[in-house]
Amino acid sequence: MIPLSLSQLLHLVLQSVHQPKMVIQQVLTFTLTRKQLMLLSLLLVVVGLIAGLLLEIISPQPPEGAMNLSQGVGPFFLLQFAGILIGAGLVYAGGQLFKGKGSFDDCLKMVLWLSFVNFVLQFSIPLATLFSVSLAVMAFVAVILISLVQIIAYVMVVHGFTRIIPVAFGVFGGLIIAGILFKTLIAMLGIDIGMEPV
């Protein structure tokens, strides 16, 4: 399906940090059918849930806002799978609104790759926690900033946009819409994400 080994994929992940446009161009050349993209989506969600369960077992006191997987993995599986499709749909719809050239499958490839990159980079946060809380906070902020830069770069490549400022505004608008949709979906699924009332 993907003509790369795991080590090559991890190398691409590191390369995406400083050359996001070049990497997403390579990712878009992967020949994948819609069915294969859906299977990869399911695989990514399953791997993410397994990693979350392991982290929950290892960490005696999960951070505030962490998903409590002890409630059952079903709702979280649906949430994360829906999140991938919603993300791809928003990137596609936003691109079409401004005459972008990317197809839905291209947008789905982009969201899958972004999710994979974030999944790998987020391991830096628990590792940083072993040294100090402040280092973990710095790692968290770094992951967020890297993700934002990547989203903007990826959208520009996928849709063929050349002006970064309108794309950045579009991305932030899309993130707001995604946040509203996620909040609604979390409520519908009855998921407790561990946020304590103030």
pLDDT tens digits for range 82-114: 999 999 999 999 999 898 999 999 999 999 999
Mean per-residue pLDDT, 188-194: 70
In sign, the C-alpha dihedral spanning 13, 102, 22, 154 is: negative
Mean per-residue pLDDT, 138-164: 93
Residue/partner pairs of 38-43 with CB below 8 Å, 24 or more apart: 40/1, 40/112, 41/81, 41/84, 41/85, 41/108, 41/112, 42/81
Map out the domains of the chain as residue ranges: 6-189
Query: How many residues does the structure list for the chain?
Result: 198
pLDDT tens digits for range 134-149: 888 898 899 999 999 9
The pTM (predicted TM-score) of the whole model is 0.84
